[in-house]
Structure 1
């Protein structure tokens, strides 16, 4: 709330508040161009409730399926165009119980009850359960089912883009492209990741953050980053979207803005992504998971950064999913349970 208040004060003092207010398409009664569902960090496992890594929060492992069922029923009623699942679909505890495939099948069956296309982002728990090769051959490779224009940029990078409606583009990023948990130990990206972490984190267990406070805490094993190859591809996608005058929403498991998440959940090279988002007029929103507390920030260029609250730490009598109504001049997030409503005006300096 403090960050939002400061931004509001700056806005008021700038004189921008006195400019004429143009009515939005939604206020004029216009129908949305399309709608889509959003959900993050289900982390299903057929085990008793437990606690998070720091032993400070309760986790409801079995209940994730019921909350997903609530979401898919609502999305079906709302006739959403597609659903974005932002990673950590099942929990890492499944691996030690030899239940990874069974758990995945259980959750996928719930998603299949919806007629909407589901696009899956990969998080750290995907890699706790499966190797990258297995994921590419699994139902979690939604690029393989999305059709023309959604091919992966490389055989070993899970990032792709597609257009849900004319004038709009969605981009899914691989935030574990450079990481320890998403790469084979003999790979160059794994070796680079080890070197990077050891430069910033001297703990014997690299899942524990560095002793120092602040943004350095992001250098932990359960995070990752984006390779130069992926960033170059991302820049090309956004450049083309600029030329086509499209509105772009980006999806990732890891957040990339420090004000939209706890530093311990931030992507390693978040600055590179932020710089790219600000330099392209087509980008309007960045959506992520990973931080189960959620978060929100609108950056200096007007891009909205939304971190979705996680299903795994949502009480059984609540919910944690949203529906996004996309208009020509804004998006409206209608939240359920822990997720609050938000009106996401497109950046004024980025009108196309």
Structure 2
């Protein structure tokens, strides 16, 4: 689409994923195949923040898709300091930030600690006239930044081995689930062969409880009635064609089934897979976008984007490793 013919957007928002900052030298990923730029990631976040702050189309809010600091901070006793640094960088933009929780949040903090931290942005749902929260310890909420549009933040580690005590019912239930599919001694080692959907059953992934799925169903039912357009965000992707099997949510199929039963969902956005990915689910008309991660982005590039929202589409303008994508509203 020719930008000169495009009307002004209704609103814009920023996207960034997997900053995974740590004040340490570069290293390698879990499979020892990709370089991770731990210290440099803060500099790339700074450049993203400066771009958003000085943009003519200043974002109404930013969605941070999880893994804001790296798990190595925990071993170094630097979790709080690292979090303070990245949150300080975000605060300089004076733009509202919605934080998604990923596995590295739980490497550094317990669920109870996260709920009491600045990473708990569910309080922002109270400022939205149609905002709701899932309740309890589930970190899931919805908010409406503009009439006719709803955003839903999901808790992809509601069912997980991470962030909970090993003697808890939640831990034992998740452990029994993962062991049905993964017989490896190291549960961070994926089961099965490369490309096998069973590879998602690892300790660094998680899933959505029935309580959360029921809550999401109610939010989407309300959005259907109002003919709203819904964007769902999560750290973990839920469509096999938008990521590698190793990065999928444990019960991605149940989440997809929930989406399929509602007409309001337009887009699902996730992080976790540092290579990124995209697909249009033609059976539902829902776009599934997985954002490339900052942590594996070289110093001479970047990985963030700004989404302009119109009546009939969302337009992602990416920077560095993030491609431009036209997200047409296919449903309703």
Q: Which has the larger radius of gyration?
A: 1
Question: Cα RMSD over matched residues?
Answer: 1.4
Residue aligning to 1:327: 310
- Equivalent residue pairs, number: 326
Residues 168-317 of structure 1 correspond to what in structure 2 (within 5 A)?
Answer: 168-213=149-194, 214-299=196-281, 300-317=283-300
The CA deviation string for residues 288-318 of structure 1, in whole angstroms up to 9 with x for no partner, is 0000000000002110000000000000000
Q: Is structure 2 residue 74 aligned with structure 1 residue 92?
A: no
Q: For residues 163 and 157 of structure 2, what CA distance do their matches in structure 1 show? A: 6
The CA deviation string for residues 103-147 of structure 1, in whole angstroms up to 9 with x for no partner, is 000000000011210000000000000001111111100112443
The CA deviation string for residues 307-333 of structure 1, in whole angstroms up to 9 with x for no partner, is 000000000000000000000000000
Residue aligning to 2:100: 121
Partner secondary structure for residue 126 of structure 2:
coil
TM-score, reference length from structure 1? 0.90
Q: Is structure 2 residue 27 aligned with structure 1 residue 46?
A: no
TM-score, reference length from structure 2? 0.95
Q: For residues 219 and 18 of structure 2, what CA distance do their matches in structure 1 show? A: 27
Contact 2:12 2:59 in 1 (8 A): yes
Q: For residues 188 and 263 of structure 1, what CA distance do their matches in structure 2 show? A: 27
Task: Return the offset for 1:29.
Answer: 2.9
Partner secondary structure for residue 169 of structure 1:
strand
Residue aligning to 2:41: 64
Partner secondary structure for residue 13 of structure 2:
strand
Residue aligning to 2:117: 138
Task: Return the offset for 1:155.
Answer: 2.4
Task: Return the offset for 1:27.
Answer: 7.4
Contact 1:292 1:313 in 2 (8 A): yes
Contact 2:125 2:141 in 1 (8 A): no
Partner secondary structure for residue 190 of structure 2:
coil
List runs of 5+ in structure 2 lacking aligned partners.
none
Contact 2:266 2:286 in 1 (8 A): yes
Partner secondary structure for residue 89 of structure 1:
coil
Q: For residues 146 and 98 of structure 1, what CA distance do their matches in structure 2 show? A: 32
Q: Is structure 2 residue 88 aligned with structure 1 residue 106?
A: no
Task: Return the offset for 1:211.
Answer: 3.0
Contact 2:303 2:321 in 1 (8 A): yes
Q: Is structure 2 residue 327 aligned with structure 1 residue 336?
A: no
Q: For residues 36 and 300 of structure 2, what CA distance do their matches in structure 1 show? A: 13
Contact 2:142 2:151 in 1 (8 A): yes
Q: For residues 3 and 255 of structure 2, what CA distance do their matches in structure 1 show? A: 31
Q: For residues 211 and 278 of structure 1, what CA distance do their matches in structure 2 show? A: 28
